Amino acid sequence: MNKIPFIYTFFLISSLLLGQSKNSSDEALRIIKLVDDNMISQTQIIESEMIVYGKRKSRTIRSKGFSSGEFKNFTEYLSPEREKGTKMLKLKDRLWIYSPTTDRIIQISGHLLRQSVMGSDLSYEDMMEERKLSLIYNCNIIGSEVLDSRDTWKIELTAKNDDVSYFRRIIWIDKLRYVPLRSDLFAKSGQLLKTTTFSDVKKLGKRWYPTKMNYKDVLKSGKGTDFIILNIDFDKKIPDNYFSKSSLKK
């Protein structure tokens, strides 16, 4: 019997594995683009509640946010009284906060963007990242799992550049609705930093959208922070003056 040379066998197996990897990457990219279509719109107007769970009690913070594209976001906090009137404006990679208590506008930048927002498990970086996943990450399918009785793809995302909040993500995508159900967020070192759980998925027009998210900073104790969408409008015109520094003191 003729034996197949080892070197030929090696290249044959390598070619098959590379082909599988390429196909997996192409399919993963297709899936992530559909997730982007569900989760991102040209404009969004969101009324929401953020429930911050403390050691003894929780706080509920209500806000209304306006976003346009990837780089413009304006948020006004409505309650409780302590936070009422606080406003945030994001333009590209810059963030300003207005405090009615001091009647001052401060700019948050650099390492300060990693700080907690109002004691929650979300950082300012988390709130600022609104770019499409398909544009800033390479993606690959690494498995399939059943999560909350839903069939999901398990997809690994690795950053294309260093200008992202998290270098690597593992994300579980509902196979029928193309929405994330869970996301694990990692530093470049490989350390797990945060987990996000998505639930209460609803059909809003032509898109599926999770209306409750739990953000958990694994470096902190507690139940994390719930972000609950009370109302959301997609693709409605927002006046340009919302996205100017003058809007912070109005």
Phi, psi for residue 118 in degrees, rounded to 5: 55, 40
My answer on whether omega of the bond before 180 falls inside 30° of 0, hence cis, is no
Query: Residue 65 in contact with residue 46, Cβ under 8 Å?
Result: yes
What is the full DSSP assignment across 76-113? EEEESTTTTT-EEEEETTEEEEEETTTTEEEEE-GGGG
Single pTM value for the model: 0.86
- The percent helix, strand, coil of the chain (3-state, each to 5) is 25, 45, 30
Residues 6+ away with beta carbon under 8 Å from 5: none
pLDDT of residue 113: 84
> Residue 221 forms beta bridges with which residues?
none
Q: What is the pLDDT of residues 11-49, one digit of tens each?
A: 444 444 444 445 558 999 999 999 999 999 999 999 999
Q: What is the pLDDT of residues 145-193, one digit of tens each?
A: 999 999 999 999 999 998 888 999 999 999 999 999 999 999 999 999 9
